[in-house]
Amino acid sequence: MNLGYARVSTDDQNLDVQLSQLEKIGCEKIFQDKASGKSSEREALNKLIDFAREGDVVHVTKVDRIARNTIDALQIADQLANKGAGLVFHDLGDLDINSDVGRVIYTTISAFAEMERKRILQRCNEGRERARAEGRHLGRFPNKTLHSRIQELAEQGMNKHAISKELGCSRTTVYKVLE
């Protein structure tokens, strides 16, 4: 059976392109996740691995859709291989991971994907540090209306838990505003 796996990192992103490609390939069942590639808690991927049987072929449109680090990627490939299922990446010219050459290519590309992710993270951190050094504000701006309402209710004698319930905000927010 041809199985497909599609993943996007956030709920804001769209699976349509991957799903369309997997349908064109002829996938009879497609498993979908909306979770970070570095997260090992990908429910649909775990279901796919459980579902896969000998002779099945798992199709993935791109290497980085199934994992972002090499160790995780190799573990997934091994789990599928132990069940007798193949794993094919279509961005690599339909590379079959179960062949020796395919495994070497896959390992190399996975390592580059992981390296790129670390580089992106490093650039983001450098940008945040530069912004802090320049005195720029990071993160969301405080909700002044909410903060003033919290102050008002506290001055009226309402306890912190009741304030959070009344305003629909977390108790942490209430505590931070009243510090």
Q: Is 9 a catalytic residue?
A: yes
User: How are the residues of the chain apportioned to helix, strand and coil, as percentages rounded to the nearest 5?
Assistant: 55, 15, 30
| Catalytic annotation, pick one of 9, 20, 39, 164 | 9
> What's the CA gap between 22 and 14, in Å, rounded?
14
> What's the CA gap between 143 and 146, in Å, rounded?
5
- Token pair listed for 144: 């002044």
Under 8 Å between Cβ of 60 and 89:
yes
> What's the CA gap between 50 and 144, in Å, rounded?
49
Active-site residue set: 9
